[in-house]
């Protein structure tokens, strides 16, 4: 997993998600990932397929994959 530890004690990870095509898609993915314990913020961008997540600690990729799947999309991996 590719993660960057920020100076404020948080971790920023960029995931690649396939299938997002609009703002509604971004909202669905963001909402599901935001429900994972420890997530502080989520920013999904449909045009690039990238989802940037800031969390208290590195996230379990299986939890992120499950959240993305619940939103109806596929987690490709980290950027």
The C-alpha atoms of residue 72 and residue 79 are separated, in whole angstroms, by: 20
The 8-class DSSP code of residue 61 comes to: H
Start-end of H helices in 6-60: 23-34
Q: What is the pTM of this model?
A: 0.90
Instruction: Provide CB contacts within 8 A for 10, sequence distance 6+.
Output: 40, 54, 55, 56
Q: Is the predicted pLDDT of residue 7 greater than 80, yes or no?
A: no
Q: What is the residue whose two structure tokens read 């913020």? A: 41
Q: In order of start, what are the domains of the chain with their CATH numbers? A: 3-78 (3.30.70.100)
8-34: pLDDT as tens digits:
689 999 999 999 999 999 999 999 999
């Amino acid at each position: 997993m590719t993660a960057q530890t920020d100076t404020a004690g948080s971790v920023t990870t960029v995931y690649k998600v396939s299938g997002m095509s609009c703002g509604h898609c971004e909202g669905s993915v963001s909402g599901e990932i935001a429900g994972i314990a420890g997530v502080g913020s989520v920013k999904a961008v449909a045009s690039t397929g990238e989802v940037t997540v800031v969390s208290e600690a590195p996230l379990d990729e299986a939890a992120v994959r499950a959240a993305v799947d619940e939103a109806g999309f596929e987690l490709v991996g980290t950027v």
